[in-house]
Chains A and B, each alone.
With several copies, the nearest count.
Chain A
Amino acid sequence: MNLAREERIACRVVDIADAPLDPLDAIAFVSDDAFGGIDVFIGRVRTRSLGRQCVGIHYDMFDPLALAVFRRAAEASIEAHDPQARCYIAHAKGKLAVGDLAVVVAFASAHRDAAFRGCRQAIEAVKYQAPIWKQEHFTDGSTAWSEGTPLVAADAGAGADGA
């Protein structure tokens, strides 16, 4: 209950060849008897994308930076919504089939408004800031890397390596 912030954050990269993502692992990690609300977001590979039928997605990832981004996303979300909250972020990599889980984010707080907002902020950061790339595999045998969002370094003024 009075853990330091870094102990209230769990970040994982899971190779689908080793194990699927586990929502119960997320729920167990963020659960705390001081918290009444847990919000869990689950991203699941779906059949249609860009109007075409998909058989699966290959996720490529730069693991060490992805983990660093997950941790900073969790810290920012906790800071913004409840300094006592707990946050869990896990993303799969490798060749996922339709129905496989690609990402699981959980955020728990004493109150549900913080749980919802914290979870939402964390998944948005994962989608727009983490070094992860999606290659869609279509039923006709073709593949396509998603267009994606360009990464932008945080404001230089905030970093030790800035101007």
Chain B
Amino acid sequence: MNITLQLFGRFREFADGPELRLELPGVTTAAEFRAAFEAWARTHWPDAATALLQASAIATETTLLHARSPLPADGRLALLPPVSGG
């Protein structure tokens, strides 16, 4: 599946732009995306980023995804590290 992953907060420091485009074959749920993306991150990002990934959520524009949530048809996801608003 073609994924567009928006990056926020500290993740912005690990990429050149505000989003990543990834081709991840066979990925249909949030849990599958997470496993595939963690594998990608281990080869492209420093250890600090993969550690932060463990504490991060996967979301669409309207909701956080559960492990078994299907990915949206447009492949647009957001990677949300621990939050600190207010």
Contacts and interface: CB of A to CB of B under 8 A. Distances in A.
A and B touching (C-beta < 8 Å)? yes
Interface of A: 43, 59-62, 64-66, 68, 91, 102-103, 112, 123, 126-135, 145-154, 156, 159, 161-163
B86 A132 contact: yes
Interface of B: 6, 8-10, 12, 55-57, 59-66, 68-70, 78, 80-86
Given A129-B83, A133-B10, 19 more contacts: A60-B8, A61-B8, A62-B61, A65-B62, A102-B85, A123-B86, A127-B83, A127-B84, A130-B86, A133-B9, A133-B85, A148-B81, A148-B84, A149-B84, A150-B82, A151-B57, A156-B66, A159-B69, A161-B66
A102 B55 contact: no
Nearest to B9: A133
Pick the most buried of B61, B63, B82, B86: most chain A CB atoms within 10 A of its CB.
B86
Contact of A148 (B6, B60, B82): B82
Given A65-B59, A65-B78, A150-B56, A132 B66 contact: no
